[in-house]
Amino acid sequence: MSNVAIITGAGSGFGLGLTKKLLHLGWVVYGADISRDGLHEAASAGAIALKMDVTSDKQVAAGIAKVIKEQGQIDLMVANAGYGSFTSIEETSSEDVRKIFDVNVFGVERCIKAVLPQMRKQGSGRIIATTSVVAHVSLAGLGWYAATKHAVRAMTNALRQEVRGLGIFVSTVEPGTSKTGFGSVAFGKLESSREFAEYDGVMRGLDKWLGGLYRISPGPDKVIKKMLRAATAKHPRAHYPGSWDVVALKLAFYLLPRRVMDAFVLWLARH
């Protein structure tokens, strides 16, 4: 019997890339997405399209129940759906803070809790969450987004320990800058949601240096390869850095004094 995977955010970027890789290996893949276009892309790749808004308890529960009814097993859940929204802490509305947590944190929670009963019953399974380099590093303009990824990393560290004895593996994949649709959404509010001129310098600097990195960054292939490794390795690692810049930034953050790291980030934002 083929392995069965559920991938959220399967209609674009990393999720669509992993969907294609697993299908090529003979997996049955349920490609979950919120948008009609995303569902069409997943289905066109050969996945079974699964309409799922990860902020909806009802849709997540119904989607997982459908997979169990049709396949009788779930071998892999990839909690990949998420988005970025970059601006200063003060200029992010409370509504927008709640929204990004609902997708990036509570969406992951809903999906994981929905598949764990079946995985515990099987005595096997694998869970992968897409986090980010900012699960380790928080930078000006990325505070609330980084907070969501810090939360997911902390949760998966605990979950990995809790379920290891049950035959369930838990990993995260940590992308850095990568050319997908993520960047256009993430940087979209740096102009439209600006309120206070006092933040103009650092926010414009962020758009220039980090936005510039996104615009010249390579495509998602390296991250997709790491996701595939996490999905198929006999003994998967806890965390998979997506590329060299993730490793470099993590090392800098953990080794440099905070005042040096802060000064470096603000220096980048001035140029």
Residues labelled catalytic: 145, 149
What is the full DSSP assignment across 79-136? Answer: E-------S-TTTS-HHHHHHHHIIIIIHHHHHHHHHHHHHHHHT-EEEEEE--GGGT
Please give the Cα distance from 251 to 63 (Å, whole number).
39
Q: Three-class SS of residue 223?
A: helix
Please give the Cα distance from 91 to 139 (Å, whole number).
15
Note the Cα 28 to chain centre separation in Å.
21
- Measure Cα distances from 260 to 147, 199, 244, 267 in Å: 21, 21, 21, 10
CB 203 within 8 A of CB 146: no
CB 104 within 8 A of CB 98: no
CB 126 within 8 A of CB 231: yes
